[in-house]
Amino acid sequence: MDEDVEDEVAEIKAKNLEATDEDVEDEVAEIKAAHFEESMKFARRSVSDADIRKYQAFAQNLQLSKGFGTWAPATASGYAIWGFALFALLIAFFINLVHFSK
């Protein structure tokens, strides 16, 4: 009986190895605009105006503390500040999107 089980396990392993050698086409190889548009149909706003103002104030204060008085990020650190603020907003948005799409 143990030999039968061992033979069956060996057969399954062999089939799995053969399957990995084949080119298996992924049905969803990449996220396309249609996927994003479909998900946006069910999305709710997750970031309030107050939160947006808070992130803008944070970015502005950080920028001014570095000595840059204009909105346009003229240096790498300016880009990093605005990138961080945008990243934080996007993370909050997508966390909410995933949470409410379930």
* pLDDT value at residue 45: 80
- Smallest Cα–Cα separation from 55: which of 84, 27, 77, 29? 84
State the pLDDT at residue 37: 85
Q: Please write the tens of the pLDDT for every residue from 2-18.
A: 777 788 878 887 777 65
Tell me how crowded residue 85 is: count the other CB atoms within 10 A of its CB: 20
pTM of the predicted model over 0.85: no
